[in-house]
Structure 1
Amino acid sequence: MRFIMRRQLKTSICMLTLFLTLAFTAVAQAQQTTVSGTVTDASTKETLPYVSYLITGTTLGGRTDADGKFSISINGNYTALKFSYVGYKPLTKVIKIGTAQVVNVQLQPEAMLMNEVVITAGKKPRYRNKENPAVELIRKVIANKTKNRMEHYDFVEYQKYERMMFSLSNLSDKFRNKRMFRNYQFLFQEQDSTKIGGKNVLPVFQQEKLSNNYFKKSPEKTKTVVIADKRVNFDERFIDNQGLSTYFDRMYQDIDIYDNNISVVSNQLLSPIADGAPGFYKFFITDTIKNHNPQLVELAFTPRNNTDLLFEGKLYVTLDGNYAIQNAYLTVNKNINLNFVRALEAKLDFEKNPDERYHLSKSNLIVDFGLSKKSGSGFTGERTVTFKDFKVNNPLPDTTYRGAGQLVVVPDADKRSEQFWANNRPEPLSAGNMKVYGNLDTLQSIPSFKRTMDVVTLFFAGYKDFGPFEMGPVNTFYSFNGVEGFRLRLGGRTTPSLSKRYYFETYAAYGFKDDKWKYFLSGTYSLNNKSIYAFPQNYLRASFQRDTKIPGQELQFVQEDNFLLSFKRGENNMMLYNDFYRLDYVHEFENHFSYTLGLRKWQQTPAGSLYFSNYPDNGILGRIQQISTSEISLGLRYAPHEKFYQGKIYRTPIVDRFPVFNLRYTAGIKGVLGGEYNYHNFMGSVDKRFYLSQLGYADVTVEGAYIVGKVPFPLLAIHRANQTYAYQLNSYNLMNFMEFVSDHYASVNIDQNFNGFFFNKIPLLKKLKLREVASFKVLFGGLRDENNPALNPGSMQFVRNENGLTVTNSLNRDPYMEGSVGVGNIFKVLRVDAVKRFSYLNNPEVSSWGIRARVKFDF
């Protein structure tokens, strides 16, 4: 059977290859003409934006960009292009068939036909908002935004169809015919050469979604019910399908022209009809369309600074008193400070409601990415959204809005038949797009593709899959530190191939300097028959770990023995040997509220130059070998509308404007399982991103804690320090490990990204597309008398260095403060900060400033 299937597949590929060869031959026989150039005003020599041009004898053509430039590839024996622009005489230019050529066009103003022509010498008149009819019109559009939005109605319901497509694009024939792709020729597609992305594309992802949507104004409620969902599904061993879909949704959000800011590829661009748009855009009336009911005004707009995060394009505004947008064409300047974006194009169409207002009926967004703006292969994403059955002010029962604010997916939404999709798609898919689902399923069955994905997964996720077991992560196999010296580690975990209910994870490590073994073992039982890494989580886990740890170091998305974190500044030989016995229960809900219950027995033994000591009754300094605690804990987390990508190890949040709340309570119990202390630890935090339009965005974290009870300093809040050369967002980058402890504290961290707002105004600097960053961190805290070792000789004393100076301190009335200014987007991936410490500069071995770097991938 396998032989027959393989033979059928091979026969199909051969037939398909033959078909493609014939198609290429037909295309090669046709004459292809490439024409590019610039359109200018014949009298002033200034470039003309958005001039229309057509291939004579056809309806095909395009428009010049904001700089008056155009480029088109023509298949066929066409010999002329016709250019037209309101206020100018049309002009037809002859072109040569079958060659690449530059045709510059000069259009004569209509005024040249008058008997008397007045020519005014001098500089180009300065653009002004005052007494500018285009600006007056856009102000009327802004003034009428409220009544033209969906929120104007008491009730709205509609059906929404979404299609998302991602492809490798601009692929040359040489690339396509490489030996490595000889088994994958059936994947390639051809598209219209005038479309963004180029001629040859290789689809890698496609998703269609159909949903019913409901809106109620008072009290405001929204609800989305997904009734059908069809997408390419990759092997879960390699790719998180849900996370991939979520990530693409974040990059390609719905475009609401009436919002002040529009989210595109993880950035916010100021809408051309934002309240403050006339201060950032230039507007021009370029045409009046009288044969449309109502009449429309074509309004072109360009950014005042072509590197700012702004659109350019055209709006079509109704002259019926509503001043609504009837159509919109949005693109971006080629010099915009958006990483990897080579081209962007959005088209919005609106339809009239019975009350003479308009609603969005269709939107299409295409973005082409690439390492180079000019040429080379890239990555193109396209999202088309269509709205139908739009009904307004039709009251529905309250039960309709039950579960409002949540995404509801009907059972078997992903199992709809082909006939269902054929009946419910607003427009049929092209033949090539219909094949994408089957082609990618076939691709995943090819052994060479599986081997390639295995290597890619090992490189990016750090795990090597062996079916029921995977080994990794590879970046922890080797590391070093001041206590263990060279450290070797080997570990792995089971996969869903073994069981979806039971998971086991383990590793063993050995330090050649301390001559000690470290190890970890855990067993997890999934209570909802899902992977323990899939949302929503619901599992019970028991684990034991014996390993080293730097007190106060808390890392996100990496392990402490990651090789790259072995490189640190200053002394790094104060560590702990920890024995953790843990039992944890984690339960997440669909609304992104979760709670965690934990039971932990923890034994801490000092290592390296760290020691535990006190002054007993005889007044002689004594050493304490270890401390033991038994704890119960409750953690609460609420992250409304959170989206994330689930990797092999970590769940990586896709940061948005919604806050994340955390609350944790931990109680130490003396006399249970060897616990030596009674205490209560309350901790809470809020994280939120604030979008500031053209000033970028600010990530803000507010955190606080209070510990009730008398405890030794290792059980206090040891504030997060960083002695690596990497800039860490949630740590104090010039604080030393164990430098400060508190039993109560409050902190505020602000990380501001200006997205190039200032650098874009500097002529030479703006070409580098650098982005300004700044941060400020302030920490207030202290110790009550009962936890201050200086007032309690019998208590565990703070650590001192070899010179007798105190290494560990408490915060007094002055806060700890540090700030930084830096440059981001260096080579599009690197951020470098100059960090300055403002307080407690007299502490031993303190650096008052430093340079830190962080790899940060942004669009």
Structure 2
Amino acid sequence: MKTKILIFFLFLSATIIGQTKVGGKVVDDFGDPIAFANVVFKNSKEGVITDENGSFYFESAENYSTLVISFVGYQTKEINLKPGLNKGLRIELVYGTELKEVIVYTGKTSKKNNPAIDILRKIWERRRKNGLQMFKQYQYDKYEKVEFDLNTIDSAFMNNKVFKGMEFVFDQIDTSNITGKTFLPIFINETLSEMYGDNEAKKIKEITKANKNSGFGSGDGVNAFIKDLYADYDIYNNYLKFFDKDFVSPLSRTGINVYNYVLNDSMFIDDKWCYNIVYYPRRKNELTFKGDFWVNDTTFAIKKINLEASKSANINWVKEIYIEQEYEVLNDSVFLLKRDYMMSDFSFSKKEESKGMYGKRTTLAKNHKFDIKKEDKFYKEEVNYYDNEVYNRSNDYWAENRFEALNKNEEGIYKMLDTLKVVPRFKRIYNLASILGSGYIEIPKWHMDFGPIFSSFGYNDVEGQRLRFGGRTYFGPNDLWRVQGYTAYGFKDNKFKYGISGKWMVEKKNRVILSAGNRRDVEQIGVSLTSSNDVLGRSFASSSFFSSGKNNKLTSVNFTTLGFEIEPVKNLTFQSNLSYRTLKSASDDFSLDYYTDNTYTTTKSEIKQSELNLVAEFTPKRRTVGYGVERTEVDENYARLFFSYSQGTKGVLGSDFDYQKLQFYYRQPVLIGGFGRLFTTVELGKTFGQVPLGLMGVIPGNQSYFIIDNTYNLLDYYDFVSDEYASLHFEHHFNGRLFSRIPLIRKLNWREIVGVKGVYGTVSDENRLINASGLVYRAPEDVYWEYHAGVGNIFKVLRIDFAWRGSYLDIPDANKFTVKASFGFYF
């Protein structure tokens, strides 16, 4: 027994030798917490800054015996540490200082006569003359490691029935050296790449040489997801984008409006005299950081910086963000980023005890070379290049080429997940998560997916209750061909509907895709100004769960299309489609009738139309996942320009009309300083030739209770029609900038949205003459417009908009006010 106890204590001492762990709280002499105080090991550069509650935790691989705690306006304090773990410390600082010659700043610091801000201005002046910006061209090797860990692991968590049969995973438990929480590594991804940049041409290229992950998915899809979650950033920029939110950089030119700055210290670091500046937010709930940085006294280049997001920052599902960057001195004047570490604590709640998941990214750079010019074609982005060898490098290759060896925990992740993949319970949990994420139920044996499951049920006034069953072929995310289809049945009209389509990528480099399909279904047409040739697309408006008013202006559509698509340049696509469709009313309460003779006495209720459609679409900076015939977009924060020309030809396959149609669509999201993001949408269109109601441009209304982009909230379907139109939408998202200044509201983390939208349109006399539908053509010749104001991020998932009509108020039964909502999971 004694031997076992001795062995235990020997093991315990072996684990803590050479380690110092400290945690606790810093308070003033009244017991109130001191936020943003400096806590460092004596005679070292290792330390942290306390959070808003005065709390801190960090650790070192070295053995330190003294902790130094300081904050401007308070006397510095030193406390002795015992070897190993020192948690639960309560450190009281006394107000006042004996250094009378030193100017002290407390609370909100002054913007005038502040030496820290004088230094900050020097950083602004030199920021484009430091680091990689000093050279015409540059290149270097990069290694990136991303790890995800479950955190706050306790005995109750480990004894959960979910982990029955998987208890071996807890052999990997460790403790964070930043938060002091226990964590369980569950995923790791590694990337080796070569980086190239041309500052004159403002071009950057990354060539991935190797990528490896621990089992949750494979190939570039995982890599693209990680790159979106952890986008690259430059601390010298005014704004740093994390999780689709723009944080104000502490080095921003606008930083003095949102941060307090204090010149805290100065010393030699790597033979360079550097100033230490502490910064912290002026207000709560804004997208800001707290931390400090060391800056050189001659080049005013950053030597070291750490950033910790304010716990009150208006961001969802992320409890903490912590960043460290360290720069090496290449020569007397060149400071280059050597190591970049970022840790995020993802959680449903920001409470200290809440469980969640760490996401940690480490980036290392080396082997820099400068002023080696590459030809312009070198920087041309590959449209659809996929090298399978990159994702299947051997273990020997990784052991030889990774910049730093994996630690024991990181090595254990690969082994653990290889074991987990054969555990039935884990496979069931993983499959359930996959279904909820993709909307499809995978059937590997048949290489099929069933779904999308969220479209299985629907309702409208014509079909009544509607059931839909569908599926697609699926061999993997990079399939070169795919067939998908569905069948649906309406219990009111007692009719079956169906759709089937196929796509085949015949040439991978330029994404040359051939497609074909046919759909027979009931559809609410006229819910978008710009046309679409998605043969299986069915608008949200076609199903009227929770809708207002009647939803009986539906059309029976028989649509067949043959298509060709090519992407010769990244994000620039050209499409050509031949289509044939028949349109007729699906309801006795709605008509598409038109006159067929010059005497306007003979009518026809069905439209038959052949059409050639040519489309050019440019989406700069769009990011996608996958290299197969279908791709998934990473986000929607990119510009989109769409131009379409359509030619209807009478007589082809019994087609009824000759016409030409031009359409233009432009959407642009723009970051407006620190005041959020503005979305601008412009749509223009004109039809040349005589066409009936079924081929007219219908100003898209919205009779649902939900927010639908590019529709008009207070219009019913077919309120306005036109053959010539111009539409303009403005919508601005303040992201909580205004609410953060209202004391009683800012804790709710609500986000403000305001918008205005308007449309002008006309209908030609010849199109009015053939109208026999009974619908009175009304065009918004006096400009129809409406405006809305909304509150987002209610309970983190809900947005509510209040909309008012601005014109055409005298129309009988006109909707003058409405409330719309939407749900979504956003950071």
Instruction: Determine which of 331, 337, 345 is the counterpart of 1:368.
Output: 345
Q: Does 1:169 align with 2:151?
A: yes
- Does 2:123 align with 1:141? yes
* Residue equivalent to 1:855: 823
CA distance in 1, matches of 2:205, 2:121: 33
Q: How many residues align?
A: 805
Q: Using a 3 Å threshold, how does the CA distance of structure 1 residues 267 and 405 change in structure 2: closer, same or farther?
A: farther
Quote the offset at 1:286 in angstroms. Answer: 1.1
Question: Which shifted more, 365-374 or 352-361?
Answer: 352-361
User: Could you tell me how far apart the structure 2 residues matched to 1:311 and 1:597 are?
Assistant: 50
Q: In the alignment, which residue of structure 1 is the partner of 2:724?
A: 744
Among 42, 47, 56, the alignment partner of 2:34 is 47
1:194 deviates by: 3.1
Q: State the 1:400 CA deviation.
A: 7.7
SS of alignment partner, residue 527 of structure 1? strand
Residue of structure 2 in register with 1:70 after alignment: 55
- List per-residue Cα deviations over 1:539-567 (Å, max 9, x = no partner): 32322211101121259998547997422
Q: Does 1:635 align with 2:615?
A: yes
Alignment of 1:284-323 (within 5 A): 284-290=262-268, 292-320=270-298, 322-323=299-300
1:719 to 699, 724, 727: 699
Query: What CA distance in whole angstroms lies between the structure 2 residues aligned with 1:480 and 1:24?
Result: 69
Percent sequence identity is 26
Instruction: State the partner residue of 1:823.
Output: 791
Distance 1:835 1:27, change over 3 A: farther
Match of 1:36 among 2, 15, 24: 24
CA contact (8 A) 1:640 1:659 kept: yes
Deviation at 1:589, TM superposition (A): 5.0
Q: CA deviation at 1:650?
A: 8.5
Contact 1:632 1:666 in 2 (8 A): yes
- Residue 504 of structure 2 aligns with an amino acid whose one-letter code is Y
> What does residue range 29-428 of structure 1 map to in structure 2 within 5 Å?
35-40=23-28, 47=34, 49-54=36-41, 62-67=47-52, 69-72=54-57, 82-85=67-70, 88-92=75-79, 101=88, 103-107=90-94, 111=98, 127-188=109-170, 189-196=172-179, 198-204=181-187, 206-234=188-216, 242-290=220-268, 292-320=270-298, 322-354=299-331, 356-374=333-351, 375-392=353-370, 394-398=371-375, 401-403=378-380, 412-428=389-405
In the superposition, relative to structure 1, how do residues 92 and 848 fare at CA in structure 2: closer, same or farther (>3 Å)? same
State whether residues 204 and 379 of structure 2, in contact with CA within 8 Å, keep that contact through their aligned partners in structure 1. Answer: no
Instruction: Tell me the amino acid that sits aligned with residue 489 of structure 1.
Output: R
Alpha-carbon distance between aligned partners in 2 of 1:83 and 1:271, rounded to the nearest angstrom: 28
Query: Contact between 2:690 and 2:766, CA under 8 Å: does it hold in 1?
Result: yes
Q: 1:846 to 1:745 in 2, by over 3 A?
A: same
Deviation at 1:368, TM superposition (A): 0.5
Query: Which 10-residue stretch deviates more, 638-647 or 260-269?
Result: 638-647
Give the one of 709, 734, 742 matched to 2:714: 734
CA–CA distance in 2 between the matches of 1:639 and 1:323? 38
C-alpha spacing 1:231/1:693, structure 2 compared with 1 (3 Å): farther
Q: Is the 8 A contact 2:681 2:729 kept in 1?
A: yes
The runs of 5 or more residues in structure 1 that have no matched partner are: 1-21, 530-534, 801-805
Partner of 1:551: 525
* Residue 707 (structure 1) aligns with: 687
Output the CA distance in 2 between the equivalents of 1:316 and 1:601. 67
What's the TM-score, normalizing by structure 2?
0.88
Aligned with residue 599 of structure 1, among 574, 578, 598:
578
Pair 1:810 & 2:798 matched: no
The 1:618–1:212 alpha-carbon spacing in structure 2 relative to 1, beyond 3 Å, is: closer
Mapped contact 1:697–1:753 kept (Cα < 8 A): yes
Q: Relative to structure 1, is the Cα distance of residues 25 and 546 closer, same or farther in structure 2, using a 3 angstrom cutoff?
A: farther
**CA separation in 2, counterparts of 1:99 and 1:295?**
33
AA in 2 matched with 1:688: Q
The more displaced of 83-92 and 140-149 is 83-92
Q: After TM superposition, give the deviation of residue 623 of structure 1 in Å.
A: 4.6
Residue type of the alignment partner of 1:191: D
Cα distance in 2 for partners of 1:26, 1:491 equals 59
1:845 maps to a residue whose letter is D
Contact 2:480 2:628 in 1 (8 A): no
1:444–1:494 distance in 2 versus 1, CA, 3 Å: same
The aligned counterpart of 1:679 is 659
Given that 1:773 and 1:822 are in contact with CA atoms closer than 8 Å, whether structure 2 keeps it comes out as yes
The offset of 1:29, in angstroms, is 12
Closer/same/farther in 2, CA of residues 564 and 756 from structure 1, 3 Å limit: farther
Amino acid across the alignment from 1:856: G
Structure 1 residues 713-752: Cα deviation after superposition (integer angstroms, max 9, x where no partner): 2112122221100011221122111222222222222221
For the residues of structure 2 that align with 1:43 and 1:186, how far apart are their CA atoms? Answer: 48
Aligned to 2:515: 541
> CA offsets, 1:155-202, max 9 Å, x none?
212112111222322232321232321333344422334334821224
- Determine which of 489, 496, 501 is the counterpart of 1:522: 501
Where structure 2 has 5 or more consecutive residues not aligned to the other structure, the ranges are 1-6
1:134 is paired with a residue whose SS is: helix
Q: Could you say which residue in structure 2 is the equivalent of 1:761?
A: 741
What is the Cα-based RMSD across aligned positions, in Å? Answer: 3.8
Other structure's SS at 2:123 match: helix
Equivalent residue letter for 1:485: G
AA matched with 1:634: L
**Aligned-partner Cα distance in 2 for 1:200–1:27:** 19
Change in 2 beyond 3 A, CA 1:209/1:589: farther
8 Å CA contact 1:226–1:409 kept in 2: the answer is: no
Q: Tell whether the 8 Å contact from 2:293 to 2:304 is kept in structure 1 after alignment.
A: yes
Q: 1:496 to 1:731 in 2, by over 3 A?
A: same
Query: How far did 1:676 drift?
Result: 0.8
Closer/same/farther in 2, CA of residues 291 and 207 from structure 1, 3 Å limit: closer
Q: 1:700 to 1:118 in 2, by over 3 A?
A: closer
Q: Deviations over 1:264-314 (max 9, x none)?
A: 121111111111211221100111114652211110011111211111110
SS in 1 for 2:300: coil
TM-score, structure 1 normalization: 0.85
Task: Please state whether the residue corresponding to 2:98 is helix, strand or coil.
Answer: helix
Are residues 1:440 and 2:414 paired?
A: no
Following superposition, the deviation at residue 465 of structure 1 comes to 2.6
SS of the residue 1:722 aligns to: coil
After superposition, the C-alpha distances for 1:476-519 in whole angstroms (9 at most, x for unaligned) are 33322111112222232332289956543332222222222212
Q: How far does the alpha carbon of each residue in 1:425-466 deviate from its partner, in whole angstroms, 9 at most, with x for none? A: 221111221233343344333333332333333334333233
| Matched residue type, 1:603 | T
More displaced 10-residue stretch of structure 1: 501-510 or 680-689? 501-510
Q: 1:450 to 1:685 in 2, by over 3 A?
A: same
1:356 partner amino acid = S
819 and 621 in structure 1: CA distance in 2 versus 1, 3 angstrom threshold: farther
Post-superposition shift, 1:365? 0.8
Q: Which amino acid aligns with 2:572?
A: F
Pair 1:86–1:827, CA change in 2 (3 A)? closer
Q: Say which SS state the counterpart of residue 752 (structure 1) adopts.
A: strand
Alpha-carbon separation, structure 2, partners of 1:25 and 1:559? 68
